[in-house]
C-alpha cells in the first residue's frame, strides 16, 4: 500500500502507538512528597497549604487577592452571589463555552443572555453591548482556549453602562493582556483546576480580584458564610456554602504551579510553529491572536476548516486525522442554548436564539485538540502539520 494512502483506508499512519503523546496530568516526586507531608501532618483541612497556594497564585496572576474554592463552577456562582446578582437579573455570556458559564447564572436565579462570538472564538464585544437591557447586571466573557478576549473594549462597555466584567478565565492560567494577568483585567475573574486543566488537582478553583471588599465577601461565601479572619468559628454573617479547597489539593497545586511557567512557554512556542504552518494550508485557519496578548496560555489549540476550500468536511478531516495518530476533535456539538436544559428555563424562551458564528463552529468548522500535545517536542508538531498536509493531498479519497 502506498505511504500516501490515508491510514483511514489502509495506509501507514504518520504516528503509531509507539510514538505516544505526552500524558496528562504530569506529576513527579514533588507531588508525592507534598501529599505525604500533608497526610502525615494530620492537618488536612483549610490550613497552611491553602493559604500558601492562594498567596502564590495571586502573585502569579498579579492579583491582590486569591480565594481558592472547590471548582471553577462554584467560583463562578460565588462571584455572582457576591455581586448581589439574582432573580430578575440578566448576565450576558457566550454560547460557545462549557455549560458551567451559563448554569452558574441560572443557579443564582438570574437569566443568561447569549451573545455570539466573533472570529477570535470569544464573546463579540459589539454584540454583547447590543444585548444590554435595563436588567443586565454583568457581562461574563470567556477567554476561550486561553485566547484572551478584547478586554479593552469590554472594560469600556462596562464602564459606560455601569456593568461589572467578570472574566471566565478557566482556560487562561498565566495569560497576560498588555502585561497584566487574566482575572484582574475586569472586576474579577475565576479559574478551574479540574483534571483536564493546565494546572490541576483533579478538581479545584480560584477567584482573583483587586477589590478587597469583593474578595472578603467571596471568602465568606466559600467558607459557609463565616466572618473575616479572627471571627468566632460558629459566627455566620452570610448565606454561604462549603466550597473550600482541601490541604491535599492545595499541596498538589503548589507543585503544579512550579511547572506552569515553563510549560506555558513551551505550549506557546509549539502553537506558534503550528500557526505559521496552518496559515500555509488553504482551508485551515488557526484561532487568531492579538498583539495585546503578551503571554498566551493555550488550554486548547483551536482550528477552523473551510470544507469548500480544503476539500473535505470537518467530520471527514477529524476521522482521517485520528487514524493518522493526531487526536483532534470537533469540539462542542451544539451551542449552549440548544442544550436540553435551556428548554426548561422559566421566564425565558431560547427557541429563537440564533448565533451564526457559534453555530458554524459547532456544526461545521470548529476543531480543537488538548494542551498536553503542545508539551511534545518540535518533531511532534511537524507530525501534526504532515498529517494535515497528507489529508489535504488525499481529500479525493474522502469524498463519496
Which of 330, 352, 351 is CA-nearest to residue 342?
351
pLDDT tens-digit profile of 325-342?
999 999 999 999 999 999
Helices 72-82 and 212-222 sit at what angle, rounded to 10 degrees? 120
The domain over range 29-255 is classified in CATH as 3.40.640.10: yes
Question: Which own/partner contact pairs does 282-290 have at CB distance under 8 Å and 24+ positions apart?
Answer: 282/309, 282/310, 282/392, 283/307, 283/308, 283/309, 283/310, 283/311, 283/392, 284/310, 284/388, 287/120, 287/121, 287/145, 287/147, 288/119, 288/120, 288/147, 289/147, 290/120, 290/147, 290/148, 290/150
**Burial environment of residue 349 by CB neighbours within 10 A (0 to 12, 13 to 18, 19 or more):** exposed
400 compared with 71, residue with greater pLDDT: 71
For residue 40, what is its C-alpha cell? Answer: 502525615
pLDDT tens-digit profile of 18-67?
899 999 999 999 999 999 999 999 999 999 999 999 999 999 999 999 99
pLDDT tens-digit profile of 341-381?
999 898 899 999 999 999 999 999 999 999 999 999 999 99
**What residue segments make up the domains of the chain, in order of their start?**
29-255, 260-398
pLDDT tens-digit profile of 156-174?
999 999 999 999 999 999 9
Residue 244 has pLDDT above 60, yes or no: yes
Contact 222, 241 (CB under 8 A): yes
Contacts of 346 (CB under 8 A, 6+ apart): none
Residue 90 has pLDDT above 80, yes or no: yes
The class that CATH gives domain 260-398 is: alpha beta
Residue 13 — pLDDT band, cuts 50, 70, 90? very high
Amino acid at each position: 500500500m502506498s505511504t500516501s494512502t490515508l491510514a483511514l483506508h489502509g495506509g501507514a499512519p504518520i504516528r503509531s502507538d509507539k510514538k505516544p503523546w505526552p500524558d496528562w496530568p504530569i506529576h513527579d516526586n514533588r507531588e508525592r512528597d507534598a501529599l505525604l507531608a500533608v497526610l502525615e501532618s494530620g492537618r488536612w483541612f483549610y490550613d497552611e497549604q491553602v493559604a500558601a497556594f492562594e498567596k502564590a497564585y495571586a502573585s502569579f496572576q498579579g492579583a491582590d487577592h486569591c480565594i481558592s474554592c472547590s471548582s471553577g463552577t462554584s467560583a463562578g456562582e460565588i462571584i455572582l452571589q457576591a455581586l448581589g446578582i439574582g432573580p430578575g437579573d440578566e448576565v450576558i455570556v457566550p454560547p460557545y463555552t462549557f455549560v458551567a458559564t451559563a448554569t452558574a447564572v441560572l443557579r443564582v436565579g438570574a437569566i443568561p443572555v447569549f451573545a455570539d462570538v466573533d472570529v477570535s472564538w470569544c464573546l463579540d464585544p459589539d454584540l454583547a453591548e447590543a444585548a444590554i437591557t435595563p436588567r443586565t447586571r454583568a457581562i461574563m466573557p470567556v477567554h476561550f482556549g486561553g485566547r484572551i478576549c478584547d478586554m479593552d473594549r469590554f472594560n469600556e462597555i462596562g464602564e459606560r453602562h455601569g456593568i461589572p466584567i467578570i472574566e471566565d478565565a478557566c482556560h487562561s492560567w498565566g495569560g497576560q493582556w498588555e502585561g497584566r494577568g487574566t482575572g484582574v483585567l475586569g472586576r474579577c475573574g475565576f479559574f478551574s483546576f479540574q483534571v483536564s486543566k493546565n494546572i490541576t488537582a483533579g478538581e479545584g478553583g480560584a477567584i482573583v480580584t483587586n477589590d478587597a471588599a469583593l474578595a472578603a465577601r467571596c471568602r465568606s461565601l466559600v467558607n459557609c458564610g463565616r466572618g473575616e479572619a479572627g471571627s468566632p468559628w460558629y459566627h455566620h454573617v452570610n448565606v454561604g456554602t462549603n466550597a473550600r479547597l482541601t490541604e491535599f489539593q492545595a499541596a498538589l497545586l503548589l507543585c503544579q504551579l512550579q511547572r506552569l511557567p515553563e510549560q506555558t512557554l513551551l505550549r506557546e512556542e509549539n502553537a506558534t510553529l503550528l500557526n505559521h504552518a496552518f496559515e500555509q494550508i488553504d482551508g485551515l485557519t488557526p484561532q487568531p491572536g492579538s498583539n495585546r496578548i503578551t503571554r498566551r496560555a493555550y488550554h486548547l489549540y483551536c482550528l477552523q476548516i473551510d470544507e469548500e476550500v480544503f476539500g473535505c468536511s470537518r467530520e471527514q478531516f477529524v476521522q482521517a486525522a485520528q487514524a493518522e495518530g493526531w487526536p483532534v476533535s470537533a469540539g462542542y456539538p451544539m451551542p449552549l442554548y440548544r442544550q436540553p436544559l435551556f428548554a426548561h428555563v422559566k421566564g425565558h424562551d431560547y427557541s429563537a436564539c440564533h448565533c451564526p458564528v457559534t453555530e458554524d463552529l459547532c456544526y461545521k468548522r470548529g476543531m480543537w485538540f488538548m494542551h498536553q500535545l503542545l508539551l511534545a517536542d518540535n518533531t511532534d508538531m511537524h507530525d501534526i502539520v504532515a498529517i494535515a498536509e497528507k489529508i489535504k493531498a488525499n481529500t479525493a479519497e474522502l469524498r463519496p
